[in-house]
């Protein structure tokens, strides 16, 4: 479930914070992976609305793929049909692995935890963390980096220990 932003000012603030937060998260993850026994890979994934069965997911995926090579007329029919079906949104996962252990981290959820106050996966209503915006309405880079770094350090500290 994607967080919902309820007003245009908060929307603009979220747009301003998301990309820098994402970049700081990736950079901090890289730094810890460099000194960790864990190996990390990144993976694009499709995130489906809750309750969408695998049969519907497969059908929508097939329609999306057929859209790429469809004639303009057929493409219009496919788009109309897709408009009636549940659609996935793009996701981005960090897959951490050490020996037989594997942990998958939803990077967008981690990013939301940087940008929003007290965010937990599944929260719909969110509030921008105003501590990340300075008195001029710009990104407070130091606070943003400190929050991203703290979240990544907590993530790595909570990884399973070696067997």
Claim: this prediction has a pTM higher than 0.75: yes
Average pLDDT estimate for 45-56: 89
Average pLDDT estimate for 34-49: 92
Terminal C-alpha separation, the chain: 34
From CA 92, how far away is CA 107, in angstroms rounded?
Answer: 6
Question: pLDDT tens, 93-105?
Answer: 999 999 999 999 9
Which residues lie closer than 8 Å to 2 by C-beta, 6 or more apart? 89
In DSSP notation, 62-115 reads: HHHHHHTT--HHHHHHHHHHHTTS---EEEEEEEEEETTEEEEEEHHHHHHHHH
What's the pLDDT at 20? 96
Q: Which two tokens stand for residue 163?
A: 């067997």
Residue 124, pLDDT > 80, answer no
């Amino acid at each position: 479930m994607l967080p919902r932003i309820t007003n245009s000012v908060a929307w603009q603030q979220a747009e301003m914070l998301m990309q820098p937060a994402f970049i700081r998260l990736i950079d901090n993850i890289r730094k810890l992976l460099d000194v960790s026994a864990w190996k990390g890979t990144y993976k694009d994934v499709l995130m489906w609305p809750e309750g969408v069965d695998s049969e519907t997911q497969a059908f929508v995926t097939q329609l999306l793929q057929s859209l790429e090579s469809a004639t303009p007329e057929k493409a219009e029919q496919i788009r109309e049909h897709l408009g009636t079906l549940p659609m996935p949104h793009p996701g981005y996962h960090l897959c951490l692995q050490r020996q037989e252990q594997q942990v998958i981290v939803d990077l967008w959820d981690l990013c939301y935890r940087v940008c929003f106050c007290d965010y937990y996966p599944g929260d719909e209503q969110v509030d921008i963390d105003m501590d990340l915006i300075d008195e001029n309405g710009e990104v407070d880079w130091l606070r943003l980096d400190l929050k991203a770094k703290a979240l990544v350090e907590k993530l790595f500290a909570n990884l399973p220990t070696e067997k």
